[in-house]
Amino acid sequence: MKAGSWPSIIGIYLFGVCGAATVSKIIPLTSDIGNDFGLAVANFGWLVALIAVPAAIFSLPSGLVVDRLGAKTVLLLAAALGCVANIIYYYAPSLLVVQIARLMEGLAIVHIYTAGPAMLMVSTEGTKRTRAMTLWSTYAPVGTALGLVVGGLFSQSDAWRNTFIVHGILYIAAALLGVLQPTLPVAASNAMSTLKDKFADLGSAFLRPMLLMLAAAFFLMVSMGLGANVTFPNYLASAHHISVHSASTMVASTTLAMILGSLGVGVILPRGIRPGILFACIAVGGLIAGTLCFLPSVSVEARYGALIGWFILTGAALATIMATLPVVADPARPGAAAALINFAGAVATFLNPPLWLGIAATGQWTPFIGLLAIGWTLAVILLWGAILLAMRAKAANAKAQPET
């Protein structure tokens, strides 16, 4: 594969899809895991969130790993670790072993989520970079849908552990394609600098105010997206008196609508539309669609429409943030920028499943609307702030250029 080509971009993207499926594949298996290992439904959210523990711990240092070993090597090693974790799942004799496998998967995806976007930012430029980054933003909905479908296919049956066989095979497929990826050279400064210098270098990159604001906006979007996703299957099953399998399929099929939103942003932004204006419009529509998703009196047909609207708009929001990442990142440290975004997503993944599933267990729906209203509002403010600071920094650099 040629660096920056579409086959290379899509190959990198497949690693992200496999990683995102890790989060959602066990959601349809709630009763299966609970029955086999005595895990209460009320505590299941913590098992879902456990995957984010290593991600929260290692997200920032993963930038060092990518800089030292190279993105391609990191992606291949992460896929191998994901395969091993699925084997452990399949043979797990106790809940403790399941938790160990969950932690291993968390360690795998933290490096995928850093290496993937870092490799895209380095190997592409211009319009292709914008479109590559918006495509990358769709790994979450596609992977989430894939995980729900695979888990739902085997849920509430004696063959529920086959979920992990299928997921392991998907990791193998991504790795086989990954071998064909180009090996991008590691910068000499990255190879020769000491660990202390590297941490200092990353620290200066992380402290860029515009990058911190964008990471906070990404945290909010992942919080709302993941929180709603883990809540929908059981919520819809209860609201419409259908099986969890049917509800999971319903959510999975509509989740793919996020691709339309993400790719739409990839078409719109290169035409000169301001990201801040676009994101504000997306937020208004997202709040309306999200409210309709949780209204108890909505019919199944209307719920489908609301879910499709929700996923299109959240996909567009994530794509707008990812397309803005190269603008606010330090050009010399793309791995640091990707690592910080990764960290924000990891923290959101850890905090939100217990929160949203806990609210769902109360049978109330109005708190969800409050979470969505606060989340969308703050995300708009943060994205606008990040873009404004980036524009000021660019103007200051341009003004100082003649003097250097």
Q: Which residue has the higher pLDDT, 141 or 39?
A: 39
Query: Token pair for residue 206?
Result: 């992380």
Cα distance between residue 260 and residue 349, in whole Å: 23
pLDDT tens digits, one per residue of 173-195: 999 999 999 887 665 444 444 55
Closest to 89 measured CA to CA, from 156, 46, 139, 32 = 32
Mean pLDDT of 72-97: 94
Given pLDDT bands bounded at 50, 70 and 90, which one contains residue 199? low
pLDDT at res. 296: 86
pLDDT tens digits, one per residue of 209-237: 898 999 999 999 989 988 887 888 888 88
pLDDT tens digits, one per residue of 251-267: 877 877 888 898 899 88
pLDDT at res. 160: 92
pLDDT at res. 205: 57
Given pLDDT bands bounded at 50, 70 and 90, which one contains residue 349? confident
Q: Which residues of 3-41 are buried (b: 16+ CB within 10 A; e: fewer)?
A: ebeeebbebbbbbbbbbbbbbbbbbbbbebbbebbebee
Mean pLDDT of 35-43: 80
pLDDT at res. 176: 93
pLDDT at res. 97: 94
Per-chain mean pLDDT for the chain: 84
Cα distance between residue 133 and residue 148, in whole Å: 24
Coil, helix or strand for 38?
Answer: coil
Size of the chain, expressed as the number of residues it contains: 404
Residue type, 10: I
Residue 182 and residue 2 in contact, taking contact as beta carbons nearer than 8 Å? yes
- Structure-token match 């709040």, residue found: 287
